[in-house]
Chains A and B, each alone.
Chain A
C-alpha cells in the first residue's frame, strides 16, 4: 500500500498544476500554459498508472507496460519542451 502513496500524491499534485495551468490558458490564451498544462496532465496520468501498477497484482509486470507508463510521461515532457522552445513570448 505505502509504495503507491508517493505516486498517488504525485498524481494529485500534477493534476492540480494541470488544472491551474489549463484554467490560465482558458483565460489568457497563452500557449505556453497549454503545453505545460498538458504536460502536467500527462505526468499526473503517469503517476497514477505507476501507483496502480506498484500496488496491485492486476497488472502483470511486463516490460511493455513499464514502457507504456514511461511513454505517457515522455509525451508530456515532449509537449512542454516544444512549448518552452517555440512558444514563449517574453
Chain B
C-alpha cells in the first residue's frame, strides 16, 4: 500500500510540474518556472526514496532535495514581489 501511494505521489508531483511548465511557456512568468522546478524536485525526492530503498524522509539526500524545492517556492514568492519587471522571464 505504501509503495502504491509513493508511486501515486511521484506521478502526481510530476504531472503538476508539467502543468506549471506549460503555464510558464504560456505566460513567460518566472513564478511558474520556479513552481515547476520545485514540484519536479519533490517528485525526484519520492523517486530517490524508492530507488535507494531509503527508510524515510530523514535521509540527508531526501531532506536536501525537499529543502531546495521549498526554497525555490519561497524564492518564487519573493521574486514576484520585487520591483521592477514583476516576474517576466527575459526573452
Return chain A residues, CB-CB under 8 Å to B8: 74, 77
Interface of B is mostly: helix
> Quick check: A6 and B67 within 8 Å, CB to CB?
yes
- In the assembled complex, how far is the CB of residue A45 from the closest CB belonging to chain B, in whole angstroms? 14
B16–A54 touching, CB < 8 Å: no
Whether A26 is near chain B, meaning CB under 8 Å from some CB there, is no
Interface size of B as a range: 20 to 34
Which single residue of chain B is at the shortest CB-CB distance from A2? B63
Contact status A13-B70, CB under 8 Å: yes
Interface residues on A, range: 20 to 34
B56 contacts across to A, CB distance below 8 A? 54, 66
Q: In the complex, what residues of A have CB within 8 A of residue B70's CB?
A: 6, 9-10, 13-14
Q: Quick one: which of B29-83 are within 8 Å of A by CB?
A: 56-58, 63, 66-67, 69-70, 73-74, 77
Which B residues contact A (CB, under 8 angstroms)? Answer: 1-2, 5-6, 8-9, 12-13, 15-16, 19, 26, 56-58, 63, 66-67, 69-70, 73-74, 77
